[in-house]
Every structure is written in structure tokens, then in C-alpha cells.
Amino acid sequence: MTMTEDLMYQDEIRQSVRQVYSTIPTGGGEAVTRRSYTDDELAELPAGAVAWALGVGNPIPHAGLRPGETVLDIGSGAGIDTILAARRVGPTGRAIGLDMLEEMCERARTHAQEAGVDGWTEFHRGEMEAIPLPEASVDVVISNGVINLSARKSRALAEIFRVLRPGGRMCVVDLTVDEELPPSLLTSPAAWAGCVSGALAERVFVTKLHNVGFTQVEVGHHTPFGLDAAALYPLFSPELIDQMRRLLPADRHDRVATSVLVTATRPA
């Protein structure tokens, strides 16, 4: 558990995250996507999906998606990874995006249509803590910068486990922290929405995955996420970046958090 879950009520976190994501005017655009996506991947995407990118990495090359598979993208935003996944599972498969905001789902549907993958791609409004899908209905769960936003992470991970078929796999990118952030950042709604304040320590993330039943849990592709990276996202105002610069020791400015790739399997 992060300290934040002691400092803020779950509903306060949920409302802050909702408020921030429903009011941002756009995503991080190419400044963000260039950090994690290849030119070939970017060429597969409509401009709007790139403009609205808000992830902290790229799970797609590691997900091993095969034609015919059903893939679920948790916190799909404007659809960037769902569309890339849809191209890999193809029309014999199914790509499902889940986001708590209807406006994100609307954007994603438009982008999927522009990408020509809408025939086998769907977007549902819903929360990762109560995934509106039946048990054992998904082959692969992907996600990008989302699990940290949950105020009920064990519940979200248990839901991912539930919807995966036995033998199914999870491949998500998220932020983790090595050391706790100062309380004034942990209680900042903007720093929460920016994926920083809700980030788990890596060992806590791994423990939670084991606790809900996952096996073959692996964490890799560690990439520092510092103030320069944060400044690329509309989620971080110049004031918030300044606050973080003042509150964090200088040697942490280039590693406020770490972007990691987490893979795990629901045992067959």
C-alpha cells in the first residue's frame, strides 16, 4: 500500500483523477509518443490518437499479440494502444478498450474508425475496479499508465485476473517509485492524476500480483521518469513541476518515478 492510501480517502482520489482527465484539453502528442513508440507504430495511428497519448511507455511490442486473440486495454484513453493491439489481433480477434470517461471512449471510437479497425474494436465506459466483462473472457490484458491511478489497486488487479482466461497474460506499463514522495505531493490531486503519487513500490506491485493469484510475475524495462518527462504532459502545470523541483532532492529530479513493464500470467 502507498502512504497516499492512508492520507486520502479513496473517493477523494477517484474524484480528483476523474476531474483532471475530464478537463485536460489534449494529450502529450508526439513529445510523449516519441519516447516509446517506433516510427512504424506511429504510422499505424491516426493523428488524433497520437495527439491524445497519455501513457508512460509502450506495452504492445511485449504483449506477443496473435491474430484471433481477445485483448483488453485498461484505461484506454483515446485509443492509442487499443488500435495498435487491434491491428495485431486482426479481424478474427477482438480489441476492447475500457475507460472510466465516456468522452475518452468517444474519442477512441472516432480514432478506431479512422484507423479502419472499428469492425472488431469496441470501447466501454467502466472502471478497472469493476470490469464490465465476464470471467475468463480475455486472452491478454494490456494497460499503459493507469493502474497507479486506482485507489483500490488490489481490487483492480483481482479484476484483471478474473477476466483473463486461465493461461491468459497481463502486460502493462506503469510507474513505480523507489522511495515515498513527500506528503504534500502525495496529497496533490494533480500529481495523482499525473501517475506519480499513486505509483507503488515495485516490490509492493509484485506482492499484490502474487496475492491475487498471478504467476510468472516479471518486472523489466526500467526507464527513469523525471521532471523533464513530466513536463511533456498537460497533466503537469509549470507550477506543479516547480513544486516538485522544490520538494524533491536534486538527485531525484531525473528519477521522480520509474516506468516499468510488468508481465504476469493467470495459471492454466
Q: Is 104 in the site for ligand SAM (CB under 6 A)?
A: yes
Tell me whether residue 103 or residue 203 sits nearer to ligand SAM (CB atom).
103
Q: Is 142 in the site for ligand SAM (CB under 6 A)?
A: no
Tell me whether residue 128 or residue 181 sits nearer to ligand SAM (CB atom).
128
Q: Is 157 in the site for ligand SAM (CB under 6 A)?
A: no
Sign of the CA dihedral running 60, 64, 67, 68: negative
Q: Is 131 in the site for ligand SAM (CB under 6 A)?
A: no
Q: Is 232 in the site for ligand SAM (CB under 6 A)?
A: no
CB of 268 to ligand SAM, least distance (A): 27
Q: Is 54 in the site for ligand SAM (CB under 6 A)?
A: yes
Strand partners, 264: 170
- Tell me how far apart the alpha carbons of residues 258 and 14 are, in angstroms, rounded to a whole number: 23
Written as one string, the DSSP assignment of 41-61 is HHHTS-HHHHHT---SS--GG
Out of 7, 24, 42, 101, the only residue in the binding site for ligand SAM (CB under 6 A) is 101
**Three-state secondary-structure class, residue 21:** helix
Q: How many angstroms from the chain centroid is the CA of residue 22? A: 16
- Tell me how far apart the alpha carbons of residues 62 and 237 are, in angstroms, rounded to a whole number: 32
Residue 234 CB neighbours (<10 A): 16
Tell me whether residue 25 or residue 249 sits nearer to ligand SAM (CB atom).
25
Interface residues with ligand SAM (CB under 6 A) are 17, 21, 53-55, 75-77, 80-81, 98-101, 104, 127-129, 144-146, 149-150, 195
